[in-house]
Each structure stands twice: as structure tokens, then as C-alpha cells.
Structure 1
Amino acid sequence: MEYVNIILFSLIALFIVQRFIPVKGVRNISTLQLKNELKDKKKQFIDVRTVGEFKSYHIPGFTNIPLHSLSQNIKGLSKDKEIFVICQSGMRSQKASKILVKNGFTHVVNVKGGVSSWR
């Protein structure tokens, strides 16, 4: 029974660590740093929140591609341009960043703190 507890604890710890480790190949910036980046029209900015969240409030310049549909809409994004990803708090944008990297995007930037930090 003790071995089961050790294995269970190890799996839970591994899950928690994986959730908070930054994605390899993804640059993380603050919303303060984002303000300077928004001026560059050569960059892509996507908001991975739901359509309702986006309609309620969004940062001008961002395009809404909800996380659940990112894989289906990934072909509309350029791999040659730097892509900035934001959500409400930073968790969904981190997941979106992983999806982008797995699909061959090399210039991915995650906005830490999300729209909540912007306001």
C-alpha cells in the first residue's frame, strides 16, 4: 500500500510541475512589455479566450482564435512572423503556445498574466 501512495504522490507532483514549467522555445513577456510590441504591424496577435470573453473585452490588434479551435485554424497563421498569444490569466495561452510549437512555429511569445494583467 505504501508503494501505491508513493507512485500516486509522484504522479500528482509530476502533473503539477508540468503545468507550471515554461514551454521550451516560447518567450514569456509581461503585459507592460506587450504594449511596446503592439506597435509592430509585422507581428501576429491572437487571443485564445472564448468568443464571449473576447466580445466582452479585448485588446485592440488581437484576433480571436479560441483555444478549442486553434488546431483547426492554425493554417491561417504565418510561421514566418512572431506570434503573441494571450488569454485571461496565462494558462490557456501557455497551452496554445505548446500547440503552436508542436506545429512548427518557432517565434511564439506568451503574454504572462493575460488580459487580467492588462487592465
Structure 2
Amino acid sequence: MPHEIDGIKQVDAEELKELVKNKPADTVVIDVREPEEYEAGHIPGVPLLPMNSVPEMIDGFSKEKEYVFICRSGNRSQNVAMFLKDKGFDRVTNYDGGMLDWEYGKNEGPEERIETPEDLKKR
């Protein structure tokens, strides 16, 4: 059930599973861990954009879309969501619990990385 922490909407594993499965056109799910963590196990279809790259990618984000962020435990992704909210992006969500709570098949499918603002805009 969605709830908020520090003004950021939180989703749990079941809600995230539905988002990844249904892929709403206005929602982008992004993994903000480090490349080594992502390579060790990631959610199929969820691209990587390491947390430290988010500020330089700000021009690729759209205020018309919702962004759901994932990390290992939910802390880094919460910080990314808070950063974007401070920059005027209201539709930001955190996957509370992170990959530690994900039990639905890790490391299936190809790796996808967001490397430029243009890559992000295509999402």
C-alpha cells in the first residue's frame, strides 16, 4: 500500500512488480545503484542510472512523467527522489526496501543503461 516518507511516495515489491509488468506510458522505473551492483542482479527492463549521474542528467527528466527509483535498500533511491523533488519534480516515487526485498527473478534480460539526457528522454 502506498505511503509517504519525507513527502516522497513509497511503493512496495508487489506494487513495483505491477509497474514493471504493466509499464505505464507515463512511468519510468530507474535503478540508481552502482554498475557492479546492477550487474550482480537487476530487475529485467529497468535501466541503470547511477545516483551520482542524476544531477548531470537533470535535463533528461520530464515533469510530465512519474519516476520510480530503486537501489539496494531504499535509502539512495529515497535521496534521489528527494533531490528531484527539490528541483521541482513532483512525480517521484521510491521503492521502499530496495533490491533486498525483491524476490521476483533477478538478473534476467539484458542490461540497459541511461548514459545521456537523450537516453532518459526516450523512456
Under a length normalisation based on structure 2, what TM-score does the superposition of the two structures give?
0.74
Task: Give the structure with higher Rg (CA).
Answer: 1
Structure 2 residue runs of 5 or longer lacking an equivalent are 104-123
Deviations 1:24-71 (Å, cap 9, x if unpaired)? 2x2101011111111124111111100111111111121211111111
Q: For this pair of structures, how many residues does the alignment match?
A: 98
Match of 2:12 among 14, 25, 30: 30
Matched, 1:117 2:116: no
> How far apart in 1 are the matches of 2:81 and 2:18?
20
Instruction: Name the counterpart of 1:70.
Output: 54
For structure 1, which runs of at least 5 residues remain unmatched after alignment?
A: 1-20
Q: Identity percentage over the alignment?
A: 35
Would you identify which runs of 4 or more consecutive aligned residues in structure 1 move more than 6 Å?
Answer: none
After TM superposition, the structure 1 = structure 2 runs for residues 39-118 of structure 1, keeping only pairs within 5 Å, are 39-42=22-25, 43-118=27-102
The structure with more helix, counted as a fraction of residues: 1
Taking structure 1 as the reference length, the TM-score comes to 0.76
Cα RMSD of the aligned pairs, angstroms, is 1.4
